[in-house]
Structure 1
């Protein structure tokens, strides 16, 4: 029977713990599962809630920090110092697994020793709303070559994983080490890529593997003043992979060019959207352009920059009203170019 070590860091989320732990211990048949709850010096009764759960079930252990160590140190304590099962899961106390999630992921990992971690689709739901139904009938599995999956992440400049839906092979987790304290907001993105640089990646098709709770404490940092934070963190994360995993990467130079060009385009796109949505007063356009220039010196040649110049000419006040006309004109121009290209390819 395969074993799974589940690390549940907790800070002021004690009221979620019972549901989180139940999803791990009561809904994952056929596995030897143990849980470690680490309370990071919560100022409320979270530690007491954790200890009460442990008193009822010997599969649960609890550690309570005397001082707050932060989420990265807490993650690494559980993953590197405690976890000793065949596989490891890092699950926030406010999230939960779907029925059979670990059973499905472990079956894939058992069948494919070359796979370093497996994941599936997460359900994002709003706190206070009823829990949406989960798909639990597996339609199949896919094993992606690690280097191919890694190249996709560099092409999209996006991690594609929320976090609770991932099950990692413990031996590989120990090999690559813990989360980087220099990446407090993008450490998970860097971790998945670091793992993929050394092993293949498994995907569970047609099922939901975890619930991710959305509430005020985990809202995206891309709104208003935080427009730059996630971009900078992502760049640091990709740079960390390029430097720290260099010996494991194929076409490192191409990966660097690909992700930097994509990050520049994302930054410029945000500046463009500020005009479209009437938010130029709160979106840091100058900072976004400076970031784009840092990533891709030839940023002025990118289509997003040309779109930004057009919106500047129209003006911030008029653009939200004229956006449909501008988009229609752009689409028509693209269609015209594609039409002429198709004729040239036919030799006419």
Structure 2
């Protein structure tokens, strides 16, 4: 049996993705190093997701059902229901390669990381694409580059429960950029390790992706940055960096509002900044 301190709970939130969540779950069950817990949180699906999972996988996984409350609430519920010392997240449209857990758990343990992630391959509309240079994942203290772009991928991450207890949960008030918000809190307190191996296949291009359905993603990024600026535990230098990033993003957002003839929205976001 694996060391209890290195046992993993895998949390998979899903909403009306019966066609892909079975593939995601199968990729976890095919790991060369088994997870202790595999928990799927069915976030109010109406396509028979829960029934299909229970029929296909039985007691090898736990399926929790809730009313449709969004991905943040689903992840929070799944993590709260788990008990393993390490937590891995997997989006229901992505998959893990078979050695993902074995290699990542070893990497986290040997480096004494509180959180680490792997590299990933991107598949868009069925075709493999190369991530742009700006999406390159850094390692170590990554708060500064993370202020302008989300650089931690949920399906690639593994973290200790102690980190979650300090930095979590996901903010259920954010319909998007909830991961950006959490990772900023994490990056201000802990270095983030990077296992430089592609161990996740990330699928995109489908119509139900949050990034395609949510209008105003820039505004939610501003909310996340504002929370980071208000974070009392940031070091003074990190606080200055966060304030500068928030100011720059607000300025760009307000300029866009003015160009689109929305001066009230521009004024509102400047007021949020306190300028």
Any conservation in 1 of the 2:207–2:213 contact (CA below 8 Å)? Answer: no
Match in the other structure for 1:163: 154
Q: What's the TM-score, normalizing by structure 2?
A: 0.81
Distance 1:271 1:175, change over 3 A: closer
Mapping of residues 107-122 of structure 1, within 5 Å:
107-113=106-112, 115-122=113-120
Q: How many angstroms apart in 1 are the aligned matches of 2:51 and 2:95?
A: 20
Equivalent residue of 1:216, what SS?
A: coil
Q: Tell me the alpha carbon deviations over residues 142-170 of structure 1, each in whole angstroms, 9 at most, x when there is no partner.
A: 8503xxx112222x2x1123421111212
Cross-structure match for 1:241 = 228
Q: Larger helix proportion, structure 1 or 2? A: 1
2: CA distance between counterparts of 1:237 and 1:23? 32
2:167 is aligned, of 170, 176, 184, to 176
Deviation of 1:285 (Å): 7.0
CA distance in 2: counterparts of 1:13 and 1:48, whole angstroms = 12
Match in the other structure for 1:151: 144
CA contact (8 A) 1:119 1:209 kept: no
User: Which deviations, in whole Å up to 9, do the C-alpha atoms of 1:150-199 show, x marking residues without a partner?
Assistant: 12222x2x112342111121221122231112222111001112122232
User: In 2, distance between residues paired with 1:11 and 1:47?
Assistant: 10
Report the CA distance between 1:284 and its aligned residue. Answer: 5.8
Question: What is aligned with 2:176?
Answer: 185
Q: Structure 1 residues 294 and 104 mapped into 2: Cα distance closer, same or farther (>3 Å)?
A: farther
Residue number in structure 2 paired with 1:29: 32
Equivalent pairs counted in the alignment come to: 265
User: Does structure 1 conserve the Cα–Cα contact (< 8 Å) formed by 2:188 and 2:238?
Assistant: no
CA RMSD, 1 decimal: 3.1
SS of match in other structure, 1:255: helix
1:44 paired residue number: 47
Residue matched to 2:240: 254
* Counterpart for residue 138 of structure 1: none
Please, which of 9, 12, 19 is the counterpart of residue 8 of structure 1? Answer: 12
Distance 2:81 2:272 in 1: 39
> Is the 8 Å Cα contact of residues 120 and 166 (structure 1) preserved in structure 2?
yes
8 Å CA contact 1:222, 1:230 repeated in 2: no
How far is 1:60 from its partner? 0.9
Q: Which residue of 1 aligns with 2:134?
A: none
> Tell me, what secondary structure is at the counterpart of 2:233?
helix
Q: Is the 8 A contact 2:24 2:96 kept in 1?
A: yes
Distance 2:29 2:87 in 1: 14
- More relative contact order in 1 or in 2 (CA 8 Å, sep 6+)? 2
Q: Which structure has the larger Rg?
A: 1
Deviation at 1:8, TM superposition (A): 1.1
Change (3 A) 1:133 1:294: closer
SS of 1:44's equivalent?
Answer: coil
Task: Output one character per residue of 1:47-83: Cα deviation in whole Å (capped at 9) or x when no partner.
Answer: 111111332xx43111223x3333222111111x222
Question: Is 1:90 aligned to residue 89 of structure 2?
Answer: yes
SS of residue in 2 equivalent to 1:29: coil
1:123-134 alignment, distance < 5 Å: 123-127=121-125, 129=126, 132=128
Are the counterparts in 2 of residues 126 and 213 from structure 1 also a CA contact under 8 Å? yes
5+ residue gaps, structure 1, are 135-140, 273-279, 299-348
- State the SS of the aligned residue for 2:195: strand
Offset from partner CA, 1:185-230 (integer Å, 9 cap, x none): 111001112122232210122535342333111163599xx3xx12
When normalised by structure 1's length, the TM-score is 0.66
**Do structure 1's residue 75 and structure 2's residue 72 form an aligned pair?**
no
Contact 2:229/2:243 (<8 A) preserved: no
1:121–1:210 CA contact under 8 A, matched in 2: no
Compared CA separation, residues 297 and 193, structure 1 to 2 (3 A): closer
